[in-house]
Amino acid sequence: MSAVSRHPKFPMQTYACPIHKSALTEQLFCAQCNAAYPIKNGIPILINDRSSVFRTSDYLNADSYAGASGYGGSLDSHTGLRKWYRRTIHWIGESNPVKKDFGVHEAVEHILTSRPGSKILVIGSGDTTIRGDVTYSDVAFGANVTCIADAHDLPFLDMSFDACIAVAVLEHVVDPYRCEQEIRRVLRPGGFVYSETPFMQPVHMGAYDFTRFSYLGHRRLFRHFSEIRSGIAGGPGTSSGLMLRYALTSVSDRPAIRKWLRLVGLLASLPLRYIDLMTHSKVGSYDSAAGFYFFGVLVPEPIPDRELLRLFRGG
C-alpha cells in the first residue's frame, strides 16, 4: 500500500484515526487500534465502521459511491440523448439562486485575506474547487476529493485547519450537532466556518436527508462562533419553485412519467426564482427562504440561548 502523502494529486496531510483521533502512519495504520485503512484509486477511505451509516467495504466494490452527490454527478457514464437530458436537468435544477449576495468564494477570500496561508477543510466537497491550501473530503468519490470521510468522525488531528466549509451537507448527516463538534475540534483557535443549509426545501438524496434549519436554528447550530455574516441562500421564489417541481413530479409513481414531469416542473418553476429579486431585502423572506448561510469565527464561549432569541429574523 502506497503512502497517500506521496500521491501527486494531494497536498501533504497528516490523517488521524477516525475512531481515536490519533495520527496515522503514512501507510494509514493506527497503532492504537491496529486498524489499517485502505486506499482506492489513490484516495484513502477513512470511515469509522463502528458508527457511520457508511461502511468501508462500500467503497471497495466496483459500484462504490461515485459523483458529486454519490449517485451520478460528474462521473455520469450515460451517453447520447440520455446524457444530455441528465446534464440539462442538473444544470437547471442546481443553478444558483438569482439573488445571492454572499457565498463560499466570498467567504474564502475573507479567510485568506484575514489569515494568509490558511489550511481549509471542505466537507462534502464533491466537485467543489476553491482557492488556497485545501483538503477536500466527502462520502463519495469526486473529481477533487482528497479523502473519503464521514463528518461525524473527521479523520484529522485536533486543530489541523484554519477554516471549514460545509455547503449543503449538514442536512444529510444524522447528527449535525456531532458534526459541528468535530468541526470545532479540527479548527485552530479563531478558525472560520462557512455553512449553507436548506430550510423550505423538499427531500433530496432520498434516505440521506434528515434535517432542515430555520435561520435561528442554523445560528444555534453554530453558537460557538461569532457571526461575521449570515443571510439567505435562496429566497421564497427559490423555495416556491422547488415545491412546484416536486408537486408535479408526485402526480405519478411511474419512473418514465416522473422523468418528464420533472422536466416540465423545472421549466415551469424557472420564473418563480425571480421572485427572490423582489423579496431579498424584505425581512419576511426569512420565514419561507429555501436556505440560509452562516459565516463565523470560533470563540471561547457559546452564545447563550436567551441572547440567541434576540437574533431572530422574520416577518
Query: Nearest to residue 44, comparing CAs of 154, 127, 134?
Result: 154
Query: Nearest to residue 222, comparing CAs of 121, 295, 159, 114?
Result: 295
Contact partners, residue 270, CB within 8 Å, separation at least 6: 92, 241
Segment 148-178, tens digit of pLDDT = 999 999 999 999 999 999 999 999 999 999 9
Cell numbers found for residue 92: 437547471
Dist. CA 267–CA 247, nearest whole Å? 14
Residue 12, SS3 per DSSP: coil
Residue 140, classified by CB atoms within 10 Å of its CB into exposed (0-12), middle (13-18) or buried (19+), is buried
Question: pLDDT category, 143, cuts 50, 70, 90?
Answer: confident
Cell numbers found for residue 251: 402526480
Q: What is the DSSP string of 17-44?
A: -TTT-PBPPTT-EETTTTEE--EETTEE
Question: pLDDT category, 227, cuts 50, 70, 90?
Answer: very high
Residue 297, SS3 per DSSP: strand
Query: Nearest to residue 218, comparing CAs of 291, 281, 153, 297?
Result: 291
CB 62 within 8 A of CB 160: no
- AA identity, residue 251: V
DSSP conformation class of 71: B
Dist. CA 183–CA 153, nearest whole Å? 10
Dist. CA 233–CA 293, nearest whole Å? 6
Predicted confidence (pLDDT) at residue 223 exceeds the cutoff of 90: yes
Segment 13-28, tens digit of pLDDT = 689 999 999 999 989 9
CB 169 within 8 A of CB 137: no
DSSP conformation class of 54: S
- The CATH code of domain 73-309 reads 3.40.50.150
pLDDT mean over 267-277: 89
Query: Nearest to residue 236, comparing CAs of 210, 203, 269, 268?
Result: 269
Predicted confidence (pLDDT) at residue 10 exceeds the cutoff of 90: no
Segment 48-87, tens digit of pLDDT = 999 999 999 989 886 667 654 443 344 455 556 666 666 6
Given this model, what pLDDT does residue 73 score?
41
Dist. CA 202–CA 207, nearest whole Å? 12
